[in-house]
Amino acid sequence: MIKYYTMTKDIIINPKGFLYAVESASIKKAGNRDIAIIHSEVPCVVSGVFTCNKVKAAPVLLDMERVQSGSASSVVINSGNANACTGKQGMEDAILMADTLAQALGVERQSTLVASTGVIGQVMPMEKIVPAIKRATGLLGKHTALDAAQAIMTTDTFPKIMSIGNSTGAIIGISKGAGMIHPNMATTLTFIMTDFAITKVTLDRLLKEAVDRSFNRITVDGDMSTNDTVLVLANGLSGNTDAEAFADGLNTITEGLAKMVVKDGEGATKVFTVRIKNAKTHTEADRFARTVANSPLVKTAMYGKDANWGRIISALGYAGPDFNPENTDIYFDDILIAKGGISMYADKEAELVLNQNEFDIIIDLHMGQAQAHIVTCDLTEEYIRINGAYRT
Amino acid sequence: MIKYYTMTKDIIINPKGFLYAVESASIKKAGNRDIAIIHSEVPCVVSGVFTCNKVKAAPVLLDMERVQSGSASSVVINSGNANACTGKQGMEDAILMADTLAQALGVERQSTLVASTGVIGQVMPMEKIVPAIKRATGLLGKHTALDAAQAIMTTDTFPKIMSIGNSTGAIIGISKGAGMIHPNMATTLTFIMTDFAITKVTLDRLLKEAVDRSFNRITVDGDMSTNDTVLVLANGLSGNTDAEAFADGLNTITEGLAKMVVKDGEGATKVFTVRIKNAKTHTEADRFARTVANSPLVKTAMYGKDANWGRIISALGYAGPDFNPENTDIYFDDILIAKGGISMYADKEAELVLNQNEFDIIIDLHMGQAQAHIVTCDLTEEYIRINGAYRT
């Protein structure tokens, strides 16, 4: 297992005006916290990015509609049940969660958002969830963003939290995610809170860019979830309107959280980045990087610390775009393992690289000037154990 | 593990005029047979289907050229080294294997074919292979097709052999393959020998059709090999020119061998078929079936005997084509687990199905009349162990 990786030992900076509460609704094991509430004392500008999966969970559909208005103040999140593939009942339940929160907080109905994560295809135990939301609102301010990060975990082995800034402007983010993380989607559940003052138009643009650079560049198992959501709430309480400073902070937070999610990839022992260099186009570079990063044979070789570059070049071969294997160089970090598609017999040197917890696979195609990278993890027996027994 | 599945206990019918020999070249562990020779006493009509991977091993490139002539008599196969990503040296070695065989047998150079399977990216130990080929030719007729099927195994746990017919016309096939089996390719190594008298044009057509119906409908891990080859040698010695009878037999053999390959999928405990019904087009049905069959989360759920249909509908959602989850029914064999995208809460009944070694996942999209199926296996800890340690 990768060692504990979070920012909890550092000082957590909380943006002005954001309050948190957690509670147990006994969706997960009795007593485990599975409800989290995030609330801003003043209305926020809101932006969201959502899963590309054609099957979208009820709370995703609800939030997609609500973020269009550009304003929100509060979010309720539950873990243990994804409220996905639950039909009309599912949408009624998502709305009931939002309404319960709005009523308990005394805010407008349209200003509350909902997110759910957990098992798909089971109706939500609303008789337990509604009272838990009410209890939680009474606890607002008694808990922290770290408590919220813990309450939204499912197969996660550690809470994911990161913050940046100071009293002149701060950003904090929490994520949930360990498997089913696929590129080209919003990925996992992520909630970012800031007291920067940012307009809706700018926030939408900056969030899209930040997600493209972070969550859209990671993959664990190539599966894509029905629930993935990234929300940003900006309440403006710092008065700071410096969008550039905000963008820098936002990118740092999303990249940091995305990497934590990969590090916590179900059963992962290693994180590696597949970097394609000198491809013809960015699209082709991206295609090559994703195919190598998602190959089970490459992932298991990395787990076995086996510098089996043959599996890498074989994956390039079925990625789709044309390339010349006889003009392709492959490195593990700075160790050239294959030059022009031929072994350099550097397995021993490469093994030193593969013994690390983090490294790069660099593939130089010598075809053009485009590049792309994908961050991923190895595939282990533990992944099978977790996912073979997830519901039991 | 799936129990031993081969036809060895049945009578093996060998087509007239085909001889076999096996030998050890110590490419694999010393003493293990890793060289096989297949030889027809008279020249054969030959046809081949090869990997779609853009990275093709040297013997694949050699055979692709040679089968165009339409005639061949002999094949030499080695296991333990794939002779892939070995550059010019690799092609010289493949030609040397073919030439060594031709010389030892006293046949024309162009009438010999070569196939290799094993590790990628390492130069062939020709100093051991050349003498072993010579020794093997002296043993022709002392061994059987089953011996050949055993000699070409790598991570296979059992030899794959199947025969059909009688003295008026017979077909026999052997396959090697256990992982890296991807649809839309020729898949694995397969050699089919027959004494039917079939023209080159007909043989090419029938082989393509047979492979489309068998090897192109299976998947183990979504990875695609550099070496996959299906060769058919037809020597006409039965005098039987009934192409229809031959086609029937060929389809039976290729479907049987393809299923054996899935059953031997690395670490597999279950074989299941994903059947898409009532899609808009065959292409879309195929896309849905492949995406579900390749989803690691679906594969691990099947391993865990977990009727987790949410993972199935989620995989449909990222397959690409449009569909309506709220109009989708999912069955495990005849158990309806989700109707209109909503749970039927039939998990207990479904578990009885999932306890079997073989079952179907049937997905009815209610959109049109097209259908497609893909045969695949579950994903287990054993797959990781095999592939994490393959080269050690």
Q: A99: helix, coil or strand?
A: helix
Catalytic residues of A: 187
- CATH of B271-388, picked from 3.40.190.10, 3.10.20.340, 3.40.50.300, 3.40.50.720, is 3.10.20.340
* A216 DSSP assignment: G
Check if the beta carbon of residue A193 is closer than 8 Å to that of residue A37: no
Measured CA to CA, the distance from residue A61 to residue A90 in angstroms comes to: 11
| Band of residue A186 on the pLDDT scale cut at 50, 70, 90 | very low
pLDDT score of B151 more than 70: yes
**Range list of H helices, B278-367:** 282-294, 296-303, 309-317, 347-354
Instruction: Express each pLDDT in A1-51 by its tens digit.
Output: 333 334 444 568 999 999 999 999 999 877 789 999 999 999 999 999 998
Residue A147 has pLDDT above 90, yes or no: yes
Compare all CA atoms of chain A with the CA of B325 and give the residue at the minimum distance: A55
pLDDT score for A269: 87
What's the confidence (pLDDT) of residue B110?
96
> What would the mean pLDDT of B65-83 be, rounded to a whole number?
96
Contact A384 B389 (CB under 8 A): no
Residue in chain B nearest A318 by alpha carbon: B53
CA gap A379, A382 in Å, rounded: 8
What percent of chain B has pLDDT above 70?
A: 92
Which chain B residues touch A301 with a CB distance below 8 Å?
387-388, 390
Q: Do B388 and A304 touch (CB under 8 A)?
A: yes
Burial of A71 (0-12, 13-18, 19+ CB in 10 A): middle
Separation CA B331–CA B350 (nearest Å): 8
B312: left (phi over 0), alpha (psi -120 to 50) or beta: alpha
Nearest residue to B221 via CA among A287, A339, A221, A192: A221
In whole angstroms, how large is the CA radius of gyration of chain A?
Answer: 22
What residues contact residue A200 under an 8 Å CB cut-off, 6+ apart?
A45, A46, A47, A70
Domains A18-261 and A271-388 share a fold: no
**Test the A interface: residue of B51, B52, B55 with most A CBs within 10 Å:** B55
The fourth-level CATH superfamily of domain A18-261 is L-amino peptidase D-ALA esterase/amidase (3.60.70.12)
Asked if the Cβ–Cβ distance from B388 to A301 is below 8 Å, we say yes
Helix H or strand E encompassing A276 = strand A271-279
Distance CA(B311)–CA(B249), nearest Å, equals 38
Q: Which residues contact A160 (CB under 8 A, 6 or more apart)?
A: A6, A149, A174, A175, A176, A177, A257, A260, A261, A264
Question: Please, what is the average pLDDT of chain B?
Answer: 90
The interface predicted TM-score of the complex, written ipTM, equals: 0.74
> Closest chain A residue to B181 measured between Cα atoms?
A297
Cα dist from B390 to A121, B103, B257, whole Å: 38, 35, 23
Residue B4 CB: number of other CB atoms within 10 A?
A: 12
Mean pLDDT of A153-175: 92
Residue A79's contacts (CB-CB under 8 Å, 6 or more residues apart) are A27, A28, A34, A116, A117, A118, A151, A152, A153, A154, A176
Can you tell me the mean pLDDT for B200-220?
91
* Cross-chain residue pair B54–A322, CB shorter than 8 Å: yes
Check: CB of residue B376 under 8 Å from CB of residue B218: yes
The full set of domain ranges for chain B reads: 18-258, 271-388
- Please state the separation of Cα B186 from the chain's center in Å: 7
- Please give the class, per CATH, of domain B18-258: alpha beta
Distance from CA of B237 to the nearest CA of A (A): 39
Between B377 and B71, where is the model more confident?
Answer: B71
Q: What are phi and psi of A170, to 5 degrees?
A: -140, 155
Whole-number pLDDT of residue B53? 86
pLDDT value at A331 more than 50: yes
* pLDDT value, residue A118: 87
- Do A120 and B311 count as a contact with CB atoms less than 8 A apart? yes
Q: pLDDT value at position A380? A: 84
A381 neighbourhood in chain B, CB within 8 Å: 381, 384-385
DSSP B251-275: HHHHHHHHHHHHHTSTT-S-EEEEE
Q: Which of B224, B304, B311 sits opposite A389 (nearest CB)?
A: B304
CA distance A179 to chain B (A): 9
Q: What is the pLDDT of residue A5?
A: 37
Rounded Cα gap, residues B111 and A349, in angstroms? 43
- B11-34, pLDDT tens digit by residue? 689 999 999 999 999 998 777 899
What DSSP character marks residue B386?
H
Using a CB-CB distance cutoff of 8 angstroms, which residues of chain A are in contact with residue B326?
87
What residues contact residue A354 under an 8 Å CB cut-off, 6+ apart? Answer: A270, A302, A305, A306, A307, A332
Q: Which two tokens stand for residue B42?
A: 């008279």
Residue B85 pLDDT greater than 70, yes or no: yes
pLDDT tens digits for B327-359?
Answer: 999 999 999 999 998 999 999 999 999 999 999
Q: What is the pLDDT of residue A220?
A: 67
Look up the pTM and report it. Answer: 0.80
Check B310 against A222: CB less than 8 A apart. no
